[in-house]
Amino acid sequence: MKDLEHIRAKKSFIIDMDGVIYHGNRLLKGALEFVDWLSVNGKGYLFLTNSSERSPLELAQKLSRLGIMVDPEHFYTSALATASFLASQRPGGSVYVIGEPGLIQALYDAGFTMNNVNPDYVVVGEGRGYSVEALERAVKLVLGGARLIGTNPDLSGPVEGGIVPACGALVAPIELATKNKAYFVGKPNPLMMRHGLRRLNSRREDTVIVGDRMDTDIVAGIESEIETVLVLSGVTTLEETGVYPYQPRHILEGVFEIPNP
């Protein structure tokens, strides 16, 4: 279920980060060599992450601390995709945000103001700012007419110590309490994938997506007709792939396999 030469022949790579390049603050096997291989071989590449906590600059700085030097232009987050989507829907609107500075800054940059009284949108991302008080306010605002937006549908994410709740899990109590379903902008939403292709200036036929999640990365690639590579270095085991009605084109142990002849 892998054809490494076929993968290496692709012109552009869309790459997830958590579980593919690192776990928390631990670089995964072969990540440095993989990024070096992309640069040396003139590949277009974009780190497309459903994480909304950090800005592209902060993500670049994190990789730098881990020993990988990458310009911020190579990163695109669900926070940026969410801000872009909302700006197209309600230019100059207002939001109530449960999330970290990366999400808040993206919304500010897109022309949104913060509003905890009568916002157009309640936007939820990952982060430590989630509390019972914030949850209660979000429920009140959604019941008052604010539209509920999630940066991504991930229920969990990998860290050094195991698994932590992600955006989908944090949005769920608001959905249940208000009987309103959130609209999620991040992967597998095709919007996110189209943004990635535009950033790369690449055709889908020339591109491959590398990720560790069947329910976001792989289905996003399939629905966008982009070739898929699942790596088993994150949240998905080989046994778990069998429960899904769709399958990746390739399955690798990790990105370390790609540069190696």
What is the Cα–Cα distance from 232 to 98, expressed in whole angstroms? 31
The CA-based angle 32-38-42, given to 5 degrees, is: 150
Helix (H) or strand (E) holding 15: strand 12-15
Two structure tokens written together for 123: 């936007």
The pair of structure tokens assigned to 134 is 């914030």
| Active-site residue, selected from the candidate residues 3, 18, 109, 215 | 18
Residue 16 annotated to the active site: yes
Answer for the pair 38, 68: CB distance below 8 angstroms, yes or no: no
Token digits for 94?
A: 């207002």
Say which residues have a Cβ less than 8 Å from residue 205's Cβ, sequence separation at least 6.
Answer: none
Q: How is residue 179 written in tokens?
A: 């009987």
Task: Give the active site residue among 16, 154, 212, 217.
Answer: 16
Contact 46, 15 (CB under 8 A): yes
Amino acid occupying residue 234: G
Q: How many CB atoms lie within 10 A of CB 117?
A: 9
Closest of 148, 150, 168, 182 to residue 213, by C-alpha: 168
Sole residue written with tokens 């999620």: 184
Phi-psi region of 27 (alpha: psi -120 to 50; beta: other; left: phi over 0): beta
Centre a 10 Å sphere on the Cβ of residue 260 and count the other Cβ atoms it contains. 11
Active site residues: 16, 18
